[in-house]
Amino acid sequence: NKIPSRRPRRAIHTATTKCIVMNSTVNLLKTGSHQEYNAANYIYWHGLKSEVRKLLHVNADKTCFIMVENRHSSSQPAACQLLMPENTIDGFVPADCNDIYERNCPGESVVLYQEYCKDLPYLSFETALAAANGSPDAVEQGLFSLASAL
């Protein structure tokens, strides 16, 4: 029940505007008795973390995905993530995605991706793990505070 995954890049910003780049995988799923894709397994942090999230929208050519963060009650406002594959990220957000996002995802929006992100080096698993564990080298490179933001 999976379609081929796309691997969008994701930049994580901290208060100091340092960021890291790592691949994230989004696999669309059909849960329960659903006949259409209604969820996405979002795998990130070098495969160490994954979450199944409600899929609010995926456009016809699969260049835009809107996922709803897990929430405790449907009475809470939706907190969403709008994701685009790496090969489309420098273009505009497709109009249908933008409209659905604006209508269904109230509150402040934070844009994580900046154009310079595509030129950042990929963070290896070892470096990411060192950053997450607060190794002296990672702290010196400013990566620990970044990993702590995850």
pLDDT tens digit string along 82-139?
988 888 877 788 999 999 999 988 888 877 777 777 777 776 767 766 666 655 555 4
Q: What would the mean pLDDT of 76-86 be, rounded to a whole number?
A: 84
Residue 13 resides in a domain = no
Does residue 73 surpass a pLDDT of 70?
A: yes
Identify the CA nearest to 80 among candidates 60, 98, 62, 59.
98
User: How far is 21 from 72, CA to CA, in rounded Å?
Assistant: 30
**15 DSSP 8-state letter:** T
**How many distinct structural domains can be found in the chain?**
1
Residue 3 resides in a domain = no
Residue 11 resides in a domain = no
Mean model confidence pLDDT for the chain: 72
Residue 34 resides in a domain = yes
Name which residue leads in pLDDT, 59 or 124.
Answer: 59
**36 DSSP 8-state letter:** S
Range of the domain at 78: 19-147
The DSSP code sequence of 51-67 is EEEEEEEE-TTSS-EEE
Residue 67 resides in a domain = yes
For the full predicted model, state whether its pTM sits above 0.85.
no
Can you give the pLDDT at residue 109?
Answer: 81
Residue 8 resides in a domain = no
User: How far is 150 from 148, CA to CA, in rounded Å?
Assistant: 5
Does residue 36 surpass a pLDDT of 60?
A: yes
